[in-house]
């Protein structure tokens, strides 16, 4: 009886799922955390992007190699219902996130605390790759881990408030090298993306929102 009440209270996505092991979520999160160490050592844009997107490819490969994680991500990638409501929420989350993160950047809150600065990309082909394949890899990898697998891992273990706070805190922490302003901003964005994913019953709207947010903010 208690298990039934818990599964009904945590949103459509978490119903009738087999939890992904906590150690797997922790291991994937560690990969993201270590990624930014490579950023600090990168001396040019090609190296920076190689580290960043190499990490995303590794994360996706690890997910696909683990049966429970693979099934969880594929199960969570169904079309949201109703689609129009999910699209409207995704647009709202995207607009708020872009406005908030752009404001943080304008205020210069990362200037004194950033441990790495993105190098200028001079090659046209690298810019195109970055804004298409690269940002798509980032959106898929991060949403698959910090929204979809996170919900499978902790959705039945935590009540809503700690569920949201832990998700946002972990998502913010993996941006640790960019600066405290971005860490604070991604905490709020993480809250909204988890809300969007739970309301839609699918990770697809969050992936789309994540891609557009990065596309606008990183546009040359």
Return per-residue pLDDT of the chain as tens, 220 residues.
434 433 443 454 444 446 788 999 999 999 999 888 877 777 788 888 888 899 999 999 999 999 999 999 999 998 887 899 999 999 999 999 999 999 999 999 998 888 777 777 777 888 899 899 999 999 999 999 999 999 999 998 899 999 999 999 999 999 988 889 999 999 999 999 999 999 999 999 999 999 999 999 988 7
pLDDT of amino acid 139: 97
C-alpha closest to that of 20 among 161, 203, 145? 145
Task: At 57, list the tokens.
Answer: 């490819």
Helix ranges restricted to H, the chain: 2-8, 22-41, 45-65, 67-75, 83-107, 124-129, 135-143, 150-154, 160-173, 180-200, 204-218
How many residues does this entry show for the chain? 220
- Measure the N-to-C terminal CA separation of the chain; round to a whole number of Å: 55
pLDDT of amino acid 15: 46
Task: At 20, list the tokens.
Answer: 């992904």
Considering the entire predicted model, what is its pTM? Answer: 0.87
pLDDT of amino acid 18: 61
Quote the radius of gyration of the chain (alpha carbons, Å): 17
């Amino acid at each position: 009886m208690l298990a039934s009440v818990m599964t009904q209270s945590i949103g459509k996505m978490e119903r009738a799922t087999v939890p992904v092991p906590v150690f797997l979520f922790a291991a994937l999160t560690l990969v993201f955390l270590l990624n930014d160490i490579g950023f600090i050592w990168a001396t040019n844009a090609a190296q920076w992007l190689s580290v960043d997107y190499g990490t995303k490819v590794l994360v996706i490969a690890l997910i696909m190699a683990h049966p429970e994680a693979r099934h969880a991500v594929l199960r969570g990638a169904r079309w949201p219902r109703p689609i129009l409501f999910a699209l409207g929420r995704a647009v709202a989350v995207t607009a708020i996130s872009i406005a908030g993160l752009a404001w943080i950047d304008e205020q210069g809150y990362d200037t004194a605390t950033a441990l790495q600065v993105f190098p200028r990309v001079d090659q046209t082909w690298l810019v195109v790759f970055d804004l298409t394949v690269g940002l798509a890899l980032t959106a898929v990898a991060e949403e698959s881990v910090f929204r979809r697998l996170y919900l499978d891992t902790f959705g039945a273990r935590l009540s809503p408030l700690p569920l949201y706070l832990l998700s946002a805190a972990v998502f913010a922490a993996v941006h640790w090298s960019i600066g405290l302003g971005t860490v604070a901003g991604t905490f709020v964005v993480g809250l909204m993306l988890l809300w969007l994913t739970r309301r839609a019953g699918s990770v697809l709207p969050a992936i789309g929102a994540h891609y557009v947010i990065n596309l606008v903010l990183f546009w040359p």
